[in-house]
Structure 1
Amino acid sequence: MIASPPNLLRIQRALKASGKRSYHDLVTLPGQKPIVSQGPPGYSAVSGHVVTVFGCTGFLGRYLVSKLAKMGTQVIIPYRDEDEARIFKPMGDLGQIVRMEWDIRSESQIAECVRHSDIVYNLAGRDFETKNFDFKSVHVDGAERIANIAAQSGVSRFVHVSHLNASPDSPSKFYQTKAEGEERVKAKFPTATIVRPGTLFGYEDKLLTNMAVWPIWWKLNHGETKIRPVHVMDVAQALANLMSIPQAPGTISLPGPSALTYEYLLDLVASITLRPPSRAPVLPKAVATALAKAAQSVWWPALSPDEVIRRYIDDADVPGDWASVGMAEPSEIESHAITYLRRYRSAENFVRPIVFPARPAPAVSE
């Protein structure tokens, strides 16, 4: 056996310590340079991908950026408010998080945000309309603009996040524009992946924590509206998994595992916080709409008029496509609710055990 030269031995030891590159570390995307990952999996790895996440400062966007950065991905962070972008500083290793100021109406700024990226996620959206941004300007015109510039810039993958209830025939303008935005995106980027998650819950959500503070707004429709809540971490992981799937055109639905009524969720919040159920009256739809319109003229709305309409719409009853993104069935809301609601307990009840309310029996078809 011929002995290896000392220099070669040192190189071999260095490669072994840093993690060897193998054939599966090489990914070639259409029209793009080869993407080569290196290093052990984790925070300081290099995945080889450069990803832009529009809408990153939103609820879902923050968790997606965190998961992408922990995979060793360089993430471009388009932001509007400097204070909201500060949260991303500790999410990645040196040079992994690149913050760039942008405006959804500026094509030059969008092009600058995507020109080095091989994957673009669009999570930009609005829960309520303002004088500067209505639903159409963000969900339709903005989504079309981003998809068009991404296609022109040679981006290989485009992932557009919509909503489970997106429909052109919906009485809600929010759901209408989400559906129209999907069609505009597919027209500009035919191989785009459309992701439709259900109602999200988690830290700082607008579901459980809002129910603990404003239960009156969730009694609309006598609490009979059914939704399919899904954990934000599950959806963020599903979106991050798409990065390793070469192509996934079409629509992917990501609903929660169970259809639950607002009435049940209010009982769940009361059981966990150990507070008596709210005795607030059930507001008629016309009264709730009038109050929501009045709130808009004073300050940002606790509930917008379109949200009142959405409180009367059940989530779409469609099967989940979790397997297509490499995930099992998502977790139930009861498994995590205590984490987000414990802070609403009094000091004397802080560590008391949970007694979950009984789930309503499923309807039996005749």
Structure 2
Amino acid sequence: MLRSHRASRLVRALPSTRRAAHDLTVLPSKPVISYGPAGRSAVSGHVATVFGATGFLGRYLIAKLAKGGTQVIVPFREEDEARHLRVTGDLGQIVPLEWDLRNEEQIRECVRHSDIVYNLVGRDYETKNFDYQSVHVKGAELIAQICAESPSVSRFVHVSHLNASVDSPSAFYRTKALGEEKVKKAFPNATIVRPGPMYGHEDKLLNNMAIWPILWKLNHGETQISPVHVFDVAQALAILQASAPLPKTLSLPGPTSYTYESIMNLIQNLTYNAPSRAPTVPKPVALLLARAAQLVWWPTLSPDEVERRYLSDVKVPGDWESLGIVPDELEHVAINYVRRYRSAANFAKPVEPRPHKAAGSYHVTE
């Protein structure tokens, strides 16, 4: 009793732990009280669940949330895949929970204490256990339904894709669009976020282009995309935790449109590597090879990914200004992600602004 009394006296004496009226935020479901020092060791009072946290975007979103003092529930399928996320927040802020996309009870447990839920779950290719329909449509619908039934969850953010369309020749884009419709029906106040192709340290864009340029010469490299920095998308998602009211749909394309060929030229100029002499493979041959490659056990270029290489990103204005974010230009930050592909002789060379085909000139500062 004496120890408890002394502890309570100490808490009252610390100005950093005092709670004031301005620290109180009343959500539709519960009051949220923040206290403690600002930054990583703060306690914002918010609890967020990030489904798909072990993916590319998930790690950056969790780092943004945890830095502001939010406790983050991290659902995982394999424990080793979530291990690196433990250090993104202070002690007790990152809470890993095992889950399965088809297990309703596990999903309920993951969202039981959360006031905001993010659904980042998605697959670039299908497997025998999880196809596009089960992940992008049925899985998204189930998570949204359970969140709508949860008394604590007042905000639901669903990450789709910039090219989501029910009329798309790509099954990936079609199921993304169908998933949006199911989520809106299950959780009417949900926010749909549609980012463009993302790039960063662990991306499947710049890294893949640097290693396998032949896979990006489909359609003669003329397909146009609007790549966006994963840091910017993570920042946008983190802002949605505090913004009120939430927007219904956010389109987050990159600030500049590029062809595959222009991005590969940019990578070659930054890495000082010779241009690829790989031939352009016709679409029927690429589809045939992709179907044959599915017989191996490791993930390769799927037939649907071949289809997507021929589909340019839709031209829509971005909603960055409404979030107060100025997205990064690919040409300004690409050196951070492709320098590793330089040879030892060229690794320390400065970046020299040089013109490259179909993209004008670029200016990169180190």
TM-fit CA distance, 1:13: 5.5
TM-fit CA distance, 1:22: 3.9
TM-fit CA distance, 1:10: 8.0
Match among 296, 299, 306 for residue 297 of structure 2: 299
State the distance in 1 between where 2:11 and 2:158 align: 43
State the distance in 1 between where 2:314 and 2:353 align: 26
The answer to whether structure 1 residue 100 and structure 2 residue 100 are counterparts is: no
1:107–1:12 CA distance, 2 compared to 1 (3 A)? closer
1:286 corresponds to: 284
Deviation string for 1:155-211 (max 9, x for gaps)? 100000000000001110000000000000000000000000000000010011100
SS at match of 1:289: helix
State the distance in 2 between where 1:22 and 1:195 align: 34
Task: Name the aligned partner's letter for residue 25 of structure 1.
Answer: D
1:224–1:357 CA distance, 2 compared to 1 (3 A)? farther
Q: Return 291-300 or 79-88, whichever deviates more.
A: 291-300
**1:248-327 map, 5 Å:** 248-327=246-325
The answer to whether structure 1 residue 14 and structure 2 residue 11 are counterparts is: no
TM-fit CA distance, 1:361: 6.7
State the distance in 1 between where 2:12 and 2:53 align: 40
Contact 2:12 2:18 in 1 (8 A): no
TM-fit CA distance, 1:95: 1.0
Deviation string for 1:233-278 (max 9, x for gaps)? 1100110011111321411001100000000000011001100010
1:219 corresponds to: 217
State the distance in 2 between where 1:22 and 1:272 align: 52
TM-score by length of 1: 0.93
State the distance in 1 between where 2:334 and 2:308 align: 23
TM-fit CA distance, 1:87: 0.6
1:4 corresponds to: none
SS at match of 2:349: coil
Task: Name the aligned partner's letter for residue 125 of structure 1.
Answer: G
**1:56-95 map, 5 Å:** 56-95=53-92
2:136 corresponds to: 139
SS at match of 2:181: helix
User: What percent of counterpart residues are identical?
Assistant: 65
1:5 corresponds to: none
1:122 corresponds to: 119
Task: Name the aligned partner's letter for residue 236 of structure 1.
Answer: A
TM-score by length of 2: 0.93
Task: Name the aligned partner's letter for residue 110 of structure 1.
Answer: I
Which consecutive unaligned segments of at least 5 residues does structure 1 have? 1-8
1:45 corresponds to: 42
Contact 1:63 1:233 in 2 (8 A): yes
TM-fit CA distance, 1:11: 7.4
**1:229-248 map, 5 Å:** 229-248=227-246
State the distance in 2 between where 1:12 and 1:69 align: 25
Task: Name the aligned partner's letter for residue 209 of structure 2.
Answer: M
Task: Name the aligned partner's letter for residue 344 of structure 2.
Answer: A
TM-fit CA distance, 1:331: 0.6
Deviation string for 1:318-358 (max 9, x for gaps)? 0010122232x201011111111111111110111223453
Task: Name the aligned partner's letter for residue 14 of structure 1.
Answer: L
Deviation string for 1:22-61 (max 9, x for gaps)? 433211111x220011122211000110100000000001
1:113–1:10 CA distance, 2 compared to 1 (3 A)? closer
